[in-house]
Structure 1
């Protein structure tokens, strides 16, 4: 085999490897956040990533907010700030929670929810539906804010 055909084979392999990497370096993910707090309570949700502000939604009981994004193998991170008011206890509850986080080789949600991450906000906290276990798992708890505090 001559030097020229060795170079051609190497170039072809490099091109093939680049195409395979680019095709496998991202995948579509859908994140769902649902208000399951109950008692007619409205959930104030503000979500974002490092690159994109998704905005604010006021979710009534049973309403869901979902969005899709292309997760990049190297780094994809979305988080939300949530806040709700309990009329009976006269207390504000809030929390900053990760809803999707992949950092390098560590993707803490790929096994748990694969490409469809379903979250439920209820009185006890913030829950992720674990596809691998077929059950809801509590991931975070609410913190108590002072009444009238603007965050």
Structure 2
């Protein structure tokens, strides 16, 4: 009887130890929680910009950002290292009355160079990414002119 209690105690200890080991391995594979920010820094935009971000699994919905406001979301990379979020941004220039927009990858696992905060700044000449190494914004994408709808 004492031997079966001892065996049960050893087995329970090994199960707890294995679960701790699996948990720490999984969290090191998945990595830190990421926070992606899209900030409206377009002074010539009429009122606000339209932002829509999503991944294969998550549609984050339509967002309308006034000047100097941001849309932000958090996630962890999937275990396969294939996490991808992309965003659409559209806005209307108050000076030339044209609409501008683009679709870009806002986060690509193993490619996007950010530790925990991935910051995108929408500006009148394009979209910039904050690089933590240089502690500065780097130009990444030009805007596309969106043609007026044909009647």
**Which position in structure 2 is the counterpart of 1:36?**
41
Mapped to 2, the partners of 1:23 and 1:129 lie a distance apart of 26
Change (3 A) 1:54 1:66: same
* TM value normalised by structure 1: 0.79
Q: Return the offset for 1:87.
A: 2.4
Mapped to 2, the partners of 1:89 and 1:40 lie a distance apart of 10
Which shifted more, 69-78 or 137-146?
Answer: 69-78
Q: Which residues of structure 2 form unaligned runs of 5+?
A: 1-13
Mapped to 1, the partners of 2:28 and 2:83 lie a distance apart of 15
Mapped to 2, the partners of 1:35 and 1:132 lie a distance apart of 23
Asked if the contact 2:45/2:91 (under 8 Å) is kept, the reply is no
The equivalences for 1:1-151 within 5 A come to 15=18, 18-26=22-30, 27-39=32-44, 41=46, 42-73=48-79, 74-102=81-109, 107-109=110-112, 112-148=113-149
Pair member with larger Rg: 2
Change (3 A) 1:40 1:23: closer
Cα RMSD of the aligned pairs, angstroms, is 2.2
- Aligned residue pairs total 133
> Higher strand fraction: Structure 1 or Structure 2?
1
Asked if the contact 1:90/1:147 (under 8 Å) is kept, the reply is no
Mapped to 2, the partners of 1:46 and 1:70 lie a distance apart of 19
Q: Return the offset for 1:20.
A: 3.5
* TM value normalised by structure 2: 0.79
Q: Return the offset for 1:53.
A: 0.3
